Amino acid sequence: MELYRLTAAELSRMMQKKEVSSVEVTRSVFDRIAKKEPEIEAYITLNEENALKKAAEVDEKRAKGESLSSLAGIPVGIKDNICVKGLPTTCASKMLANFVPPYNATVIEKLNASDCVYTGKLNMDEFAMGSSTETSFFKKTKNPFDTSRVPGGSSGGSAAAVASGEAIVALGSDTGGSIRQPASFCGVVGLKPTYGSVSRFGLVAFASSLDQIGPFGRSVEDVAMLYSAICGKDSYDTTTVRREYPRFEEKLTGQVSGLKIGIPDVYFGQGVSNEVREKVMEAAHRYEQMGATLVPVTLPNTDYALAAYYIIACAEASSNLARFDGVKYGYRTSNYSNLEEMYENTRSEGFGDEVKRRIMLGTYVLSSGYYDAYYKKAKFTQKLMQGMFHEAFQKADVILCPTAPDTAFTFGANSDDQVKMYMNDILTVTVNITGLPAISFPCGFDGKGLPIGCQLIGDKFSEQQLLSTAFAYEKAAGGFDLSRTLD
């Protein structure tokens, strides 16, 4: 079997037994990239020379008998809004097309300590603004299950690379569903951690109070391994929380007996396709057969979630992206005669349409006369939603629902209808607004053979419960089927 087809956990065990080397695994992945990348277009920047050099260093350490982490020598893809020293970090934008950061994000420093191998920087929606990876300045990443369809977004490159064998695991970021929705569309596992459990230092900010870095993998164990490596307190990010984090992969019991699983009717209603609803409910009943109890939960303020999310996210984006003005770094227009023209033309030429749309919306809701009418009400709604979930978790240990209302759509299908595009996030944004963790894992396929994602939402810092619950389903289902995309 080709090594790129194996999970990180399988490869880790093989390398520890010295059955394969990191160089062999890394070469297998880059051979796969050479074959599939022209079709999938998951990467913006490849890192083959440095990756093979790092893999050789890991093999040398292992030969000397040094103690290594479970991720040592595992090829990892990095979303292109996470800074890696010496590698371009473009955010899939013309604005940062030539930016090479002089420092590492904290998550990269943590992966360095684990001796991971970086395959390269993965494509995304520009500045993480989108649900399809169609807003990238460089290319449109394809869904490995059907290349006429989108991989989801904004972390579409990360999900597609893992699903197609172009990376063993990957990092993405999730502001309103940008890990979970592409994981659903591409048939892989994606975890959005609790806000504050993973440092955002070195993540190019979209909406600072909503952004969170998280892992992709082909198995729950892979995701648990990668999350264990990146979580924890960071002095460079004051929003991170000091607490004890276990080695999550070591506590995957696969037991759900006695677990109370909440089923929110509002997440199964209008707008959710029949096939998605049926497959997710099948997953719920499988849990019931394993000894869990299904309980109805009420989430009464969900109808306001999407509006509140886009007001908060766009307001923060308009502030965060003000730094890109052509003065210190990034793109600068050549067409200007004074400072004001340089600012205006740089931003007009450097940002794509979706980024401009969100900046304008954010500036509007923060402007004099509209702050109270929009932004203040959105923040009030955020508090209501936090209380709503707090009440729900008095009745249930986890909440189960679809990740996305439908399976992957074709390129251009929603390009002329921004409201319809934004509706792709309707089942995921509440998690970011409330700072909760959630995981998406495959629970079947629709009639077209496209993956369907099941989402589990937990209370703050309940990642161990979420991972164990998802692992129980994976174990019962006999693993997740990626045979079509890995052949």
> Which sequence positions are flagged as catalytic?
79, 154, 178
Q: Identify the sign of the CA torsion 22, 26, 32, 36.
A: positive
Report which of 45, 33, 37, 36 is spatially closest to residue 138, judged by C-alpha positions: 45
The residues, ordered by sequence, that sit 6+ positions from 381 with a Cβ below 8 Å of its Cβ are 301, 304, 305, 307, 308
Q: How far is CA 103 from the centre of its chain?
A: 22
Exposed/middle/buried for 228, CB within 10 Å: 0-12, 13-18, 19+? buried
The residues, ordered by sequence, that sit 6+ positions from 43 with a Cβ below 8 Å of its Cβ are 33, 37, 77, 119, 120, 121, 122, 123, 157, 161, 166
Q: How far is CA 196 from the centre of its chain?
A: 15
Any bridge partners for residue 401, and if so which?
455
8 Å CB contact between 401 and 264: yes
Residue 336 tokens read as: 């200007």
8 Å CB contact between 73 and 165: no
Q: Identify the sign of the CA torsion 285, 288, 292, 295.
A: positive
8 Å CB contact between 99 and 89: yes
Give the Cα separation of 44 and 26 in Å (integer). 18
Residue 447 has φ and ψ, to the nearest 5°, of: -65, -20
What's at 245, amino acid-wise?
A: Y
Residue 444 tokens read as: 């079947």
8 Å CB contact between 326 and 343: yes
Other Cβ atoms within 10 Å of 337 Cβ, number = 8
